[in-house]
Amino acid sequence: MAKHERKPPPLPSFPAGRTPEALVPLLGETVVVDIDAHMLYLGKLEYADDAFLALSEVDVHEDKAEALSKEAYVHEARNIGVRANRHLTWVRMARVVSISRLADIKNF
């Protein structure tokens, strides 16, 4: 960590037992969350319930502002790793289109 960076705050305590069954295997994994907008989230899934996902060490990517499409950006992250620009991010489940492990993305 560079001298000018602050140590990230500890993660909050998340309530246990509220994660939808389909997402339980993804807890603690680095995931790709695609939403119904020009945003893409890559980070470690810390918490999920019916309303929100919590991701830590997150790379928030807006494909409209970047030269790379969502697909190309995910493949780049798969090859070189996630470049976190947030310590913690909450994503509304109502906006989520898909969630997958970054490791499950196939190279092309």
Query: Does any domain span residue 11?
Result: no
pLDDT tens for residues 81-106?
A: 999 999 999 999 999 999 999 999 88
Query: Does any domain span residue 3?
Result: no
pLDDT tens for residues 39-84?
A: 999 999 999 999 999 999 999 998 776 677 888 888 888 989 999 9
Q: Is residue 33's pLDDT more than 90?
A: yes
Range of the domain at 50: 21-104
For the chain, where are the E strands, in sequence order? 30-35, 39-48, 52-62, 86-92, 96-101
- The count of structural domains within the chain is 1
**24-38: average pLDDT:** 94
**CATH classification of the domain holding 39:** 2.30.30.100
Amino acid at 108: F
